[in-house]
């Protein structure tokens, strides 16, 4: 099973020079886990930042994701090779299915086997899924076998903690990667989080990220601001008390923020 660095840099909604600068600054500050996706439209920008960083490829953990339109046999492997070309690399450390295909898409068993082929052929060092429900996680394990799926990347923040999926993955030995940890910035005005941040003399973002890490979630915030990138990285050393962790747990309110029309039938 791949060891995914517990903290990384997300690039969702970043494109062009903004994406390249974010990744370049992140690498300069010490980030070594970079997360992108075909649909983000920034793989080439991420690739340029990595190639120009001077950091050996082996020291960087790089993730990308196969988009829905590329899950079919006619596009899957070609799309992965295109991603690698854009990223200036021969392999990714982790390749994910970005979203499960709906009823009109190819069967899960088919595209998961194609995903497994990328690992066998060396295009990906590890494979996983994203936005899979508990039922879909179980189906994926049935197709690929125990230990094959490195992670399920799902929405997780204090207002939506996705506990059923987290528990399902843990029972199956699958790491959980949490995207959108700051809930599009909504958590930054939370009174409870503000009080906890004040007691530690840090920002609310650091508190939220430290909570996510303390809960065993691989955490991938994004930022285009060097100061924020640095403070986010510092969250790894922030120790919250058990009482503070429980306070943040209690903020759960089922506020899912990512729910496109092609999303699966969620567990919640």
What distance in Å separates the CA atoms of residue 172 and residue 140, rounded to the nearest whole number? Answer: 11
Q: pLDDT at residue 2 above 70?
A: no
Q: Which sequence positions are flagged as catalytic? A: 40
Tell me the average pLDDT of the chain: 97
Residue 176 inside a domain? The answer is yes
Q: Which pLDDT band, with edges at 50, 70 and 90, does 207 fall under? A: very high
Say if residues 55 and 27 touch (Cβ distance below 8 Å). Answer: yes
The pair of three-digit structure tokens given for residue 92, joined into one six-digit string = 């990714």
Structure confidence at residue 85 (pLDDT): 98
Q: For residue 262, is it within any domain?
A: no
Q: For residue 266, is it within any domain?
A: no
Cα end-to-end span (Å), the chain? 28
Instruction: Specify the number of domains making up the chain.
Output: 1
- 119-138: per-residue pLDDT in tens? 999 999 999 999 999 999 99
pLDDT for 99 beyond 80: yes
Assigned domain for 125 exists: yes
| Overall average pLDDT of the 49-62 stretch | 97
Report which DSSP code applies to 72.
S
pLDDT at residue 127 in the model: 98
Report CA Rg, the chain.
18
Which residue range(s) make up the domain with 60?
Answer: 9-184+216-223
In a domain, 98, yes or no: yes
Q: What is the DSSP letter of 15?
A: -
Examine residue 80 and state whether it is found in any structural domain, yes or no.
yes
The set of residues, in sequence order, having a beta carbon less than 8 Å from that of 262 and lying 6+ positions away, is 68, 99, 102
CA distance 63 to 91: 10
pLDDT score, position 104: 86
- pLDDT class for 202, splitting at 50, 70, 90? very high
Amino acid 103: pLDDT: 87
pLDDT at 66 over 60: yes
What is the reported pTM? 0.97
pLDDT in tens, 231-267: 999 999 999 999 999 999 999 999 999 999 999 999 9
DSSP-derived letter for residue 92 is: B
- Identify whether 196 is part of a domain: no
Residue 40 belongs to a domain: yes
CB-based contact 88:60 (threshold 8 Å): no
Q: What is the pLDDT of residue 6?
A: 98
Tell me the C-alpha distance between 23 and 27, whole Å: 6
**CATH code of the domain in which 101 resides:** 3.20.20.100
pLDDT confidence of residue 1? 53
Average pLDDT of 94-100?
98
CA angle 241, 246, 251 (to 5 degrees): 130
Q: Is the pLDDT of residue 151 over 90?
A: yes
Chain centroid to CA 48: 20
Residues 35 and 218: beta-carbon distance below 8 Å = no
Q: Tell me the C-alpha distance between 37 and 131, whole Å.
A: 13
């Amino acid at each position: 099973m791949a060891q995914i660095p517990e903290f990384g840099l997300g690039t969702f909604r970043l494109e062009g020079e903004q994406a390249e600068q974010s990744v370049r600054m992140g690498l300069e500050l010490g980030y070594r886990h970079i997360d992108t996706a075909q649909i983000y439209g920034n793989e080439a920008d991420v690739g340029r930042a990595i190639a120009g960083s001077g950091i050996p490829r082996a020291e960087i953990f790089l993730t990308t994701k196969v988009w829905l339109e590329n899950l079919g046999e006619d596009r899957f492997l070609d799309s992965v090779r295109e991603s690698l070309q854009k990223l200036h690399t021969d392999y990714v450390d982790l390749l994910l299915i970005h979203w499960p295909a709906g009823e009109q898409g190819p069967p899960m068993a088919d595209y998961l086997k194609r995903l497994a082929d990328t690992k066998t052929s060396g295009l990906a060092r590890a494979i996983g899924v994203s936005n899979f429900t508990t039922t879909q996680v179980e189906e994926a394990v049935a197709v690929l076998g125990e230990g094959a799926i490195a992670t399920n990347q799902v929405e997780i923040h204090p207002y939506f903690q996705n506990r059923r999926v987290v528990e399902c993955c843990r029972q199956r030995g699958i790491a959980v990667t949490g995207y959108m940890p700051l809930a599009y910035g909504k958590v930054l005005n939370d009174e409870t989080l503000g009080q906890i941040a004040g007691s530690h003399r840090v920002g609310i973002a650091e508190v939220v990220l430290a909570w996510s890490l303390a809960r065993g979630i691989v955490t991938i915030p994004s930022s285009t601001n060097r100061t924020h990138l640095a403070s986010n990285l510092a969250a790894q050393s922030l120790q919250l008390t058990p009482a503070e962790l429980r306070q943040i747990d209690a903020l759960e309110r089922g506020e899912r923020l990512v729910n496109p029309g092609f999303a699966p039938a969620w567990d919640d």
